[in-house]
Structures are given as C-alpha cells and as structure tokens.
Chain A
Amino acid sequence: MTIEPRERNEPDVFADEIRAAVRYERGLVVKALGVLAVLAVIVVLRTLFA
C-alpha cells in the first residue's frame, strides 16, 4: 500500500520545514567540528604543558 499525498497539503510549508530541518542538520556538522577543535586545543595545551 502506498500512501498518496492528499489535497490538504501545504507544499510551501512542507518545503520550508524540510529546508529548515536540513539546515539544522548542517549546523550540527559545524557544531561537531567546533567541539572537536576545542578538544584538539586541550590536547595541544596538555601536550605542551605536561
């Protein structure tokens, strides 16, 4: 059974929400890289001052 789109759809809202979700996921990539960068700084400091 395939679930078909119905008339009540709001394609613009749908497209906006999907774009927003994808944008949020892209932001998570940046956040992960940021945290990894902080971790790298701690490792470097730890190595230098150990």
Chain B
Amino acid sequence: MLHDLILGGEWILVIAVVAAAVPELAAAWQFILAACHYFRNHYGSCRPVFPRTAVLIPAWNEGAVIGESIDRLTKAEYPGESLRIYVVDDASTDETPRIVKAKEMQYPGQVVHLRREDGGQGKAHTLNHGLAVLLDDDWMEALLITDADVIFEPAALRTMARHLADPQVGAVTCYIKEGSRPGNYLTRFIGYEYVISQSAARRGQNVLGGLACLAGGAQLHSRANLLALGGRIDTSTLAEDTITTFETQLRGRRVVFEPHAVCWAEEPGAIAALWKQRLRWARGNVAVTSRYRRLWFRRARGHHLGGITFGVNWFCLFLQPIFMITSSAALLALYFAGSPRVWPAFRVLWIINAATYIFITGFALLIDPSTGRRCWRQAVMFPGVVNLAIIADTCFPRLLSRGASRFFAASHLAPPHTSWVTLFVYAWLGGSLAVAYLAKAVEPKRGGRLISAIILYIVGYGTLLCACTFASYVKELRRAEMTWDKTEKTGKMTIPT
C-alpha cells in the first residue's frame, strides 16, 4: 500500500528531489547579477566628500587587537580633523582600558575612551552607549561602526564615504576579507566563502537595489540615517546588523556595498569557534525571517526587500538544509518504491549542481584574484569530496566507469549498478548534515582537529554551514536562551602587501 502511495505521489517526490538544486541556481543567479554591477552601480552618484566621521568600536577584552586597529585607523587617507575614534570599553577586564587610554594620550583629540562599568549585555547595547554620546553632539556627520579586530586599508573609509554624497544613501558597507596569517585550512575556507557571500552576492544585491546585511564590522551610516533609526541599534535579537540594514531600507534610504573598499578581519581558526559564530548569525536570521514575515514577496514602494529575487535568495539560504533533507528522503522513497524516475531525477539534480559549481567556482576565483590564489584549493573542495565525486561522475561518467580503477567502475552510479553505493549517494545530501555535525563534535577530542579537518573536506564547508543553520532551527524550536558569544581574537593578522 505504501508502495502504491509513493508511486501515486511520484511527481511530487521528483520535484522534491530536483528542488534541492534551487539554492544552487539562486546562487548562480546572484553571480550573474554580480557581473551586471558594471551596468547598474552607484558610482555615478559618488562625490569626493569627507564627512566628519566618528568611528565607533565596541570592545570587550580586546587587548590583543585594539591598539593595532586604532593605529591603522589614524593612518587612514582621511582628513585628520574629520576623523575621531571612540572606543566603548564594555567593562573589559584585560589590558583594553590601559591600551585605549595610552592611545588617547598618543592621539589627543582623535581617540576617545568611553567606559561602561556594567557591561556584558552584548554588542548592540555597547554600541548604543556610544551612540548616545555621539548624537548628543552635532560634530558627527557620519558614523563608522566597526569591530576591534577589523583593520581598514588606508583608502577604505574615503572610498566608502563617497557614496554618502547621495542623500538617498543611508549606509555603506565594504568588503571584509579574512586576514589571519598564516591562517589554516578553515580560515582559507572562510576567505573563499567571503568572496561568494560578500564580493559576489553583495554586488548582486547592489544591482537589485536591496542589501540583505551590512557587514557588522564595517558599516558607515549618515547621521540622518541614524536619527531616522531612532538613534539606537536594535537589541532584541542577535542580528542587529541585519535589523539595521532592513530598517534603513524600510525608511526609504539605500544601502550600498562598496566592493573596492577593503578591510581585514580575523576569523575563527577552529570549527567550534566557527560553529558558535555561525549559530549566532543563523539564529539571528531566524529571528529576522519571523520579524519581517509580512515583508517577503510583497513589492512595496521605497524599497526592494519585498522583491521576488531578494526573497528567493533569502529563503534559499535559510531553507537549504530542508531542501537537502527532503531531496534525500524523496530519492530514497522513490528508490524503495521501485520508481523508474529516481535515476533521471537524481541526474537532473546533479547536472544542475555540476553546472552551477563550475560557474560559481570559476567566476568567484576571478572576482577576487588575490584571494583566489590563496584559497583556490578550498574553492575547489568547497562542496566536499563526496559531492565532487558525484559531480565528476555527472560530468564524465565514461571517464570514471572506464578508468583503470575497479573501485570507480564498481561505484559508477548509473543503473544497473544499483548497489549500496547508489543508496549511499541518494542518502548523502541529507545525511551529510549529520556528518558535518560530527566534524564539530570530534574537534575537542584527542587528535580531533585532524579528524574534524578530514571530515570537513569529505562533507564540504558549505554543508557545515547548512548544518549550523539546521542547528539554529533546533535551538529556536527549543527556545534556547540567546546569548552573545564573542568570537575570540588573537591578533594574528596582517594586511598582505
């Protein structure tokens, strides 16, 4: 009976299988849009302006990095009289207060130390402490919100500020690159991920006219925008950057990504730290998705957040783990029901995945060649060994089946070679999420770092991020407490010359 039921809904299952390619297609479309940035950008409205800019740095125990960040900011290609740096020291217990006070003496009138004695409430609260001080005085025309570990290239601030000459622009963000040196395999994965998620995706969002998120470590706001936002950063979620971005656009102001303004940040070098950071981001996105539920797919005047493309891209990222699990479940259901459509559906899914992988990887490496040279191995390995093998089998089935290796001949996926290998690859998309979780789970064990690295290369970095997103659903369903988990910084970062 179950067999008949499954075959009755065969086409629904086939659609569920192929639907797993939708996030990949959406990502490829963002890359097409990124290429269109030449035709639709904001450079025509830029002017050489240098608004009086306050740099606001929230700092909690940032002794390892804060001094270098301040030094770099003072060396920005920006008029000294138009630049002030405010460090909001969130009740730090390390060297931070001493270092910032020393910088205050070193750069009199340019560096200001603001101390919060009751800290630990999170970044948004710390920012609001500084904002209250800054908006109390009319000196500031623009505000750069950054993090203590972020190092700006000398031209970055003036390159961003040009966009504020257009009064329609409320905020500008720049391209944050991963800067750990020498770094490790994980920081190089993150470096490549930032090419995709920032350099490419945000160019595409510029073209669409709606930005999903200002980078938390590099957002330049006009004073008018801050006042329109009520002079405060939202403190109700873990996604204050995204809320600020959405609220700016909902009030009719544009948010612009400037890909040629670059800053560098130290990112996690261990899976546990990455997991903590991304879980916070993913839980923030769950909150944002729910908070703006009346916004999605509803066009409105004054902003582009309700556009179809914007909504599809948002939900493809948000729901990717669900797509993966349902695809695998549908494949297995079709397989066990003996459906003749299981193989063609699998084939269509992976032909699309292979094509988007080749396009996205090739183009991403060319969008930012310097990162591409450093991270090309991680770019190639981004989907993981298993998915790459399936892609290779999709592209060159004869190559594998006629190869010398008996293993490849035996594992060739096309019927009649239906075997445990076939079952494995059908279950893989959904099952890989659990394997990715394993990479995080084994890392603290003895010898775990090596094992977790091997697991990560097998499942792919993208799958690890999907597993994080899935974990955020679980946390939200269990109504787990939302805490601000700071990412530890070590100061092992240099700007490549």
Contact = CB atoms under 8 A, between A and B. Distances in A.
Interface of A: 1-6, 8-11, 13-14, 17-18, 20-22, 24-26, 28-29, 31-36, 38-39, 42-43, 46, 49-50
B362 A22 contact: no
Nearest to B258: A21
B38 A25 contact: yes
B358 interface: yes
Given A18-B46, A49-B398, A26 B362 contact: no
Contact of A3 (B155, B165, B362): B165
Nearest to A6: B50
Contacts, number: 92
B35 A6 contact: no
A37 B346 CA distance: 25
B358 A31 contact: no
B363 to A, nearest CB: 5
Contacts of B164: 3
Contacts of A10: 48
A42 B358 contact: yes
Contact of B367 (A2, A3, A31): A31
Contact of B79 (A8, A20, A21, A32): A8
B38 A14 contact: no
A35 B49 contact: no
Nearest to B361: A35
A39 B34 CA distance: 18
Contacts of B51: 3
B224 interface: yes
Contact of B363 (A1, A20, A24, A31): A31
B260 A21 contact: yes
Contacts of A17: 155, 159, 260
Contacts of A24: 260
Given A6-B50, A26-B38, 11 more contacts: A1-B167, A1-B224, A18-B43, A21-B43, A21-B260, A25-B37, A28-B35, A31-B367, A32-B34, A39-B358, A50-B398
B407 interface: no
Nearest to A2: B167
B375 interface: no
A2 B45 CA distance: 13
A14 B48 contact: yes
Nearest to B142: A3
Interface string B339-378: 0000000000000000100110011001100000000000
A49 B399 CA distance: 10
B32 interface: yes
Contact of A38 (B37, B155, B362): B362
A1 B141 CA distance: 9
A42 B367 CA distance: 21
B395 interface: yes
A40 B385 CA distance: 24
Residue picked from B359, B363, B367, B396, most chain A C-beta under 10 Å: B363
A24 B358 CA distance: 22
Interface string B32-57: 10111110010100111111000000
Contacts of A29: 35-36, 38
What are the 5 A-B residue pairs with the smallest beta carbon separation, nearest first? Answer: A32-B35, A25-B38, A35-B362, A14-B48, A9-B48
Nearest to A25: B38
B280 interface: no
Given A3-B165, A39-B358, A46-B395, A32 B43 contact: no
Contact of B47 (A5, A25, A46, A49): A5
B50 A8 contact: yes
A24 B29 CA distance: 20
Given A28-B367, A50-B398, A5 B222 contact: no
B31 interface: yes
A9 B460 CA distance: 48
B84 interface: no
A31 B31 CA distance: 11
B260 A32 contact: no
A42 to B, nearest CB: 7
